[in-house]
Every structure is written in C-alpha cells, then in structure tokens.
C-alpha cells in the first residue's frame, strides 16, 4: 500500500473508532488501574466497531442489489414534437 492509501484508511470512521476504543481502554488499564471500566469500555466499543466492519464487508460485495438511475428521454424535444403535432 502507498502512504496515501494508508493515511486514507486510517482516517475512516472504523479506524478512528478502533484507535479511540484502544486508547480509552489502555488509559483505563495503565493510568487508572481500573480493569472493570476497561472491560466495560472494550465491551461498549466492540459492537460499534463490529458493525462498521460488517457494513464495510457488505458494501464491497459484488452481488449487492444496486439501484440504477432512470434513463430519461429528452423531454424538451418530446414536448416540441407533441406541440407540432397539435
């Protein structure tokens, strides 16, 4: 990976949440020596991070149902033709 791709990957929502969760948990363990709050914060961040990973995996699948745009005809020329017929 190039440095730009790594930087963009680290700036995604999922990675920011991972870094925040790890930082909060490590702070609670190392600085405050509170293992109960550290386990609680890890437990609270885990479903959110898991949700983002699942959404990322689903969005990268090829067999996703995609909504395609409506192909519009040139309404002005259709209107002009209709007016000429009248």
Backbone angles phi, psi at 70, to 5 degrees: -80, 130
Q: What is the mean pLDDT of the chain?
A: 78
pTM, full prediction: 0.58
Structure letter (DSSP) for residue 12: S
Please enumerate in sequence order all residues whose Cβ is within 8 A of that of 25, keeping only pairs 6 or more positions apart, or say none: 38, 41, 42, 45
> 42 falls in which pLDDT band (50, 70, 90)?
very high
Q: Which structure tokens are listed for 83?
A: 């007016």
Q: Between these two residues, 43 and 66, which has the higher pLDDT value?
A: 43
Q: Between these two residues, 22 and 86, which has the higher pLDDT value?
A: 22
4-20 pLDDT tens trace = 777 777 777 778 888 89
| Residues of the chain above pLDDT 70, percent | 70
Domain boundaries, the chain: 3-85
Rounded Cα distance, 85 and 35, in Å = 82
């Amino acid at each position: 990976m190039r440095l730009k791709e790594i930087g963009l990957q680290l700036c995604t929502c999922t990675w920011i949440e991972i870094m925040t969760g790890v930082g909060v948990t490590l702070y609670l363990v190392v600085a405050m020596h509170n293992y109960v709050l550290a386990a609680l914060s890890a437990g609270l961040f885990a479903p959110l991070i898991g949700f983002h990973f699942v959404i990322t995996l689903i969005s990268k699948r090829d067999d996703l149902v995609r909504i395609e745009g409506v192909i519009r005809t040139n309404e002005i020329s259709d209107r002009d033709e209709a007016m000429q017929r009248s």
